[in-house]
Structure 1
């Protein structure tokens, strides 16, 4: 029965990670945590099994379609800023986040008061820095929030960056802030609320697993 529950927890974790649009690095971290728990549960090993060579992790990057759609709902899909965002997406898809940063900086040079481009710069810096919210990324997100303090987009994507880095409690703070700033009739309100709900479930499941 214990193995059945462990399998169910693993499947539930996978569904939540997929729905939250988190990168594969976070999937790896969650999988490692589950394997560690399974090892402790089993209380036995198989040291006589022959070793097998480890497979290197793929460096291929991707841009989640639902996040692109949500970004368009936040900031607009057919604007000059959106053209820079699309170009940055293309650079990330070919595993060149450094060029994505350069493209976005080019847009900021053209329009230095664009909250959408400063938000995009924060996002691509998170990707460039292997899923970490670096000081540079945090500066970009904060600049976006200074330029548009009542806009829900910058805090949402800062929360997404924290989720990608595994800092789920910080992610929850900023997604909650984004939801508070979202007008009741906004088309993207349900998308934010759903992700916040799934994140809460994932946090609760992690806490329950740690207690066990």
Structure 2
């Protein structure tokens, strides 16, 4: 049954991409995410667990360069806080979220109103703690207080919930991020695809009872 769900997710994702008339770059992005899910399921999953391949497909590895690129497109690449973000990214790739948190706190001490640093700190805390812990939530909420109309903080808070398997909590945050994204923004379709996949997952979970 698990393999059937994985196949259904792949076909559903393809149908969504055709319906939304997405560009070729996003085909590659979604295809890579689905391939990651299939690989993780084959190595660690059990065919008797119905929803696990779908969950794996929605999650991305900590060091996923696609997410780093998405963050940079949403928050900017050439900013005063870029050095701290680059250092924290390197520490994440090395599997050391604790040091990433320290680097980001050092950046916030110098640039206390940086939306990018507060958002990245929330992500780092959530990965370090394995959940949307109080420090993670505080960091994301601080980013949203500084920029209530920016889509990045709610999107990455939603991503933290997805990583914690709390898909219902992620849904309104991702919907808000899409709504706040400018129509011509390069990242808007990326967010819309993730929201559509999340909606599909939630619908399948509801149908399964």
Alpha-carbon offset, residue 21 of structure 1: 11
Q: Structure 1 residue aligned with 2:48, among 21, 35, 40?
A: 35
Spell out, residue by residue over 1:87-130, the C-alpha distance to the aligned partner (whole angstroms, 9 max, x if none): 11111111111000000001000101111100010000111012
Aligned residue for 1:167? 166
| TM-score normalised by the chain length of structure 1 | 0.75
Aligned pairs (5 A) from 1:1-212? 6-12=2-8, 19=33, 31=45, 35-37=48-50, 62-130=62-130, 132-208=131-207, 210-211=208-209
Report deviation, 1:136. Answer: 0.6
Deviation of 1:20 (Å): 8.2
Residues 27 and 113 of structure 1: is their aligned pair in 2 closer, same or farther, counting only changes over 3 Å?
Answer: farther
Quote the Cα distance in structure 1 between the aligned partners of 2:114 and 2:123.
Answer: 14
Unmatched tracts of structure 2, length 5 or more: 14-29, 52-60
Count of residue pairs the alignment pairs up: 180
Q: Is the 8 A contact 1:20 1:199 kept in 2?
A: no
User: Residue by residue, what CA displacement relative to the aligned partner does 1:153-174 show, whole Å, maximum 9, x if unpaired?
Assistant: 1011001111110110111110
Query: What SS does structure 1 have at the residue aligned with 2:48?
Result: helix
Whose helix proportion is higher, 1 or 2?
2
**1:126-164, CA deviations, whole angstroms, 9 ceiling, x for partnerless residues?**
11012x100110000000000001111101100111111
Gaps of 5+ in 1: 39-60
Alignment RMSD: 3.0
